Structure 1
């Protein structure tokens, strides 16, 4: 029996699913691998957009589950309130817990423990309802998108590749799922904590709060200035490394031609130069990021040290209680 007939016999003996998913015996990629590659290429070729207005189309899907969405908002508010409440209880424990020989110290720390317990439960409930609502919306979007795909005119598929369609159904939906289940939850929680924390800071010490807000522009400046440069250098480094990998792939695919003309050393030298070029780009990115990190740390900890020094002076002068200073530090952090 020849090698070709033996290969045919072995492939025929495989189940249909395994035969379709496995690579062929002559080294060529299987149909599944080709489709996965087409989906990856389709996702990479699409232009990156920062316009979030198309996300408004998710609102009708979210309105189908108003009950769970309202529960998510409810627990989000409670968890934020409990988080900020820890600072107020910590202040009370320091300012009033040691009065009368520490008679009420146990009560204040019991309240702190109860608040921490409630914070844990509220955070768990927030995560559950936010994630459940997001997953439910994404499930409805998946079904609606697939139903829409099957009703399109056949002429649509004359100029649209299968990989592109499936990439929309998988990769794009996965990005929206991450947004609905994780990013939105974190963004809303951090936004509410920011608003509540700034309001409480003004009640604790308007003077120190003003100093903290003055530090913010100096903290954000290095992030915007160096952040853009780091992002550009990161893209440049990735592009150059991708060029090196592309050259390596072309050389390996045509290795018989490279060897036939004795171009091995030339190909090795070109690939080495491309790799070194990519490394130089990465080195520039690392330097920029190192400077950005140094400036942020110096500004942040220098500013915190200055504010704490002024707060400690207010405590010594009797203008602020030790508990208020502790609450201010916790809120600032």
Structure 2
């Protein structure tokens, strides 16, 4: 990381600290107070030695000890305030960063998640922010305290004895040199370590998510070996980082205590010859130890702060990632437009597959209030049409329109509020039935949710669940069958009450009895709405007003079921295969 880039990253981190100036001010006051008390203890040590030990006065010794105890109490109080405020700031700032990053992720275009793995994103959002919280709330506080006390102790060293102070100062560059030298290596290894930890989390998450597939193919041992390789890679990087930090600390300790030994030899000689008092030497040793401990702490914390820079950089990459799908400066009102859709000379390539066109010179009009079905072999581009209608992507050529208005002239959120999608693999959340259905309209009452469930023919099986509508469905609805998940998703769409329906083979996961019930619910739902259906089973779309036959990203035929049987060889072949099987 270049010096400019590093400063830019730290500046962005400071932006999150600015709203809490009062807390920072309180922490700094407490820090300066405790630093002042700490330095004053050195003078207390001088009093104990000169007025107590050497003078042989018990009364003066008692007074000096009382002064030390009072200073210790004051330092304890100041430390409490400083530690509380800085720890609070660490938690608060980390929470703000985590929220800001998540908010930006929710706004990003879907192609971003094709290129960036979800496991790595989650690692940044959790592991990196946790590391940042620890560093801001602990290491950063230690660094500030060490800087202030070290500078103050250096000043007191010169006040106490200039000659000995020069010996200490001469050793400072020798301590800083290895800190700077090793710090660069630690910073690079810290970033690499965070990336390797993200890889471990990604691999584990994927294996656990697909555990049924892993176990059905008896690949448990293979997955364990592969995970072990990921863990070993992360450990190897971490070991290198740790060895660099350990070496840095060892070098600093040797240099610091070498300087202290030289200082003690010269100071002891001066006490013996009467040049300085024992109390002055005691105070000087106390301040020298503060300098030594401060330098040692800074060398240790420096590595932690380098990790903070690496973690902050990874988080800022997410925070400042820009969405390719953005609203116009003055969007048109989608609610005032007809609910007809059209794709005009559209050519589209997915960002992850730029060499292959998913749709090419594709044109289609979807009339308002009618049912349009998309059929064709796998890879024909049917799902891509849905992606473009929801404006998850923009085409490279041509236009996708609501009425005659290009979707790029509408606000994406307002456009999607007109639409409900029921996917082939319905997405459910780790929540209860009520919350999953209400996701279609968060302000809906319990009665409206139940009415939607009845319309989707889901009410009967929901009431048989252990807690009815309050039953938890587990991760991604794992406690339901495929048909039950589909009916929950359809109830969500019914509750949403959209003008446009996108159904991706919405009855594919149902048994014959459930399919019949769902068809009745869907017939009621589709009435008067613009509906687009992706159909693999032609028996489900015989009633469609328009059937569009697609192949290799193009429209090859349009019409009703009867006319297509006569005019389209592809449709006739698909129909012959399916109805022969039936």
TM range (shorter): 0.5 to 0.7
- Note the C-alpha offset of 1:329: 0.6
Which aligned pairs between 1:1-333 and structure 2 lie closer than 5 A? 51-97=6-52, 99=55, 101-218=57-174, 253=222, 293=250, 300-333=256-289
Unmatched tracts of structure 1, length 5 or more: 1-46, 239-249, 255-277
> Where do 5+ consecutive residues of structure 2 fail to align?
194-218, 224-235, 290-582
Report how far residue 199 of structure 1 moved: 0.6
TM-score normalized by the length of structure 2:
0.37
What is the CA deviation profile of residues 20-49 of structure 1, one whole-angstrom value per residue up to 9, with x for unaligned ones?
xxxxxxxxxxxxxxxxxxxxxxxxxxx999
Contact 2:51 2:57 in 1 (8 A): no
Cα 1:166–1:66 change in 2 (3 A) is same
Alpha-carbon separation, structure 1, partners of 2:178 and 2:2: 25
Cα displacement (A) at 1:197: 0.8
User: In 2, distance between residues paired with 1:144 and 1:297?
Assistant: 41
Name the CA distance, whole Å, in 2 between partners of 1:73 and 1:298.
32
Name the residue aligned to 1:25: none
Shift of 1:86: 1.2
Q: Distance in 1 between matches of 2:10 and 2:175?
A: 31
1-structure distance, mates of 2:166, 2:2: 39
SS in structure 2 of the partner of residue 51 of structure 1: helix
The secondary structure found in structure 1 opposite 2:59 is: coil
CA–CA separation in structure 1 for the residues paired with 2:123 and 2:114? 17
The structure with more helix, counted as a fraction of residues: 1
- Find the counterpart in structure 1 of residue 329 from structure 2: none
Distance 2:178 2:132 in 1: 31
Q: Is the 8 A contact 2:37 2:71 kept in 1?
A: yes
Q: Determine the C-alpha separation between the residues in 1 that align with 2:16 and 2:147.
A: 24
Q: Distance in 2 between matches of 1:188 and 1:324?
A: 27
Identify which range, 48-57 or 149-158, moves more after superposition.
48-57
The change in CA–CA distance for 1:219 and 1:151 in structure 2 (over 3 A counts) is closer
Give the CA deviation at 1:223: 7.1
* 1:133 Cα deviation after fit: 1.2
Deviation of 1:219 after TM superposition, in Å, equals 5.3
| Counterparts of 1:103 and 1:301, CA distance in 2 | 36
Distance 1:180 1:301 in 2: 29
Structure-2 residue corresponding to 1:273: none
Whole-Å separation in 2 of the counterparts to 1:184 and 1:168: 20
Q: Quote the Cα distance in structure 2 between the aligned partners of 1:298 and 1:142.
A: 40
- State the Cα distance separating 1:312 from its structure 2 match: 1.9
Using structure 1 for the length normalisation, give the TM-score: 0.62
Query: Aligned partners of 1:161, 1:95: CA distance in 2, in Å?
Result: 67
Distance 1:207 1:54, change over 3 A: same
Structure-2 separation of matches of 1:60 and 1:217: 32
Taking a change above 3 Å as real, the CA distance of residues 297 and 171 of structure 1, as seen in their structure-2 partners, is closer
Distance 1:84 1:172, change over 3 A: same
Q: Secondary structure at the match of 2:276?
A: coil
The structure that is strand-richer by fraction is 2
Q: RMSD of the alignment, in Å?
A: 4.2
Number of residue pairs matched by the alignment: 249
Which structure's relative contact order is higher, taking Cα pairs within 8 Å and 6+ residues apart?
A: 1
Greater mean alpha carbon deviation, residues 94-103 or residues 202-211: 94-103
Distance 1:224 1:77 in 2: 26
Contact 2:175 2:256 (C-alpha < 8 Å) held by counterparts: yes
